[in-house]
Amino acid sequence: MNKEEKYDLVLALTEQMKEYGNFYITDTSDLTVAKVNTIRRQCFENDITMQVAKNSLIKKAMEAAGGDFTEIYDVLKGSSSILFSKSATAPAKLIKQLRKKGDKPILKAAYIDSAIFIGDNQIDALTKLKSKEQLIGEIIGLLQSPAKNVVSALQSSGGKLAGIVKTLQERG
């Protein structure tokens, strides 16, 4: 790979890091070409982009992306593949599924919306993460619940509503 190709790869990795906001660095060393192709196919089916790159180029892309990736630099050893996805949990679920058939890929690190997860022991936690949309939905549901209870109580009181309003006015 010449200098220009390396530069282009670093630029592409940087853009993907910024675009996706989530990426997983895995160890896929010692896998056969057939196994890697199977993983690539499954990545494609799950809207995950897989890129194999040298660790030095991955580090340069992280530096160019502008985030704080210093914790990840230590895991950039050996063979590394990067999985990019809009979904924070899709790569973790895929890795977990692939591990049922073999011992690789191994999770080195994951970067999820500015949070860093280091080590293969984080897979289970990563599969259970909720998206921003899910969390916002839960918060809205929790906030609406008390208001719905008040409205329901007022509606169920029927004719008593006028009496409640009159009592409140007299106290004010």
User: Using one digit for the tens of pLDDT, what is the confidence trace for 18-32?
Assistant: 999 889 999 988 888
**Largest separation between any pair of C-alpha atoms in the chain:** 85
Least confident of 10-14, 54-58, 129-133: 129-133
Q: Which two tokens stand for residue 122?
A: 């984080």
pLDDT band per the 50, 70, 90 thresholds, residue 164: low
Structure-token pair, residue 32: 């056969």
Residue type, 5: E
Rg from Cα positions in the chain:
25
Confidence of residue 107 (pLDDT cuts 50, 70, 90): very high
Q: Please check whether residues 85 and 12 belong to one and the same domain.
A: yes
| Shared-domain flag, residues 138 and 166 | yes
DSSP 83: E
Which three-class secondary structure state does DSSP give residue 119?
Answer: coil
> Based on the domain organization, do 101 and 149 belong to the same domain?
no
> In sequence order, what are the beta bridge partners of 83?
24, 50
Q: How far apart are CA 147 and CA 26, in angstroms?
A: 47
- Co-location of 53 and 83 in the same domain: yes
Count the Cβ atoms, other than its own, within 10 Å of residue 51: 19
Residue-level pLDDT at 28: 86
Domain hosting residue 48, numbered range: 3-127
pLDDT at 15: 93
**Shared domain check, 73 and 23:** yes
pLDDT score at 83:
94
pLDDT tens digit string along 61-105?
999 988 788 899 999 998 899 999 998 889 999 999 988 888 889
User: What's the distance, Cα to Cα, between the start and end of the chain in Å?
Assistant: 80
Arithmetic mean of pLDDT, 134-141:
76
Give the total number of structural domains in the chain: 2
Please state whether the predicted TM-score (pTM) of the whole model is above 0.85.
Answer: no
Average pLDDT over residues 123-150: 76
Torsion on CA atoms 17, 19, 24, 28, rounded to nearest 10: -80
Output the pLDDT for position 141.
78
CATH of the domain at 69: 3.30.70.1730
Q: Around 132, how many Cα atoms within 13 Å sit in the side-chain half-sphere?
A: 7
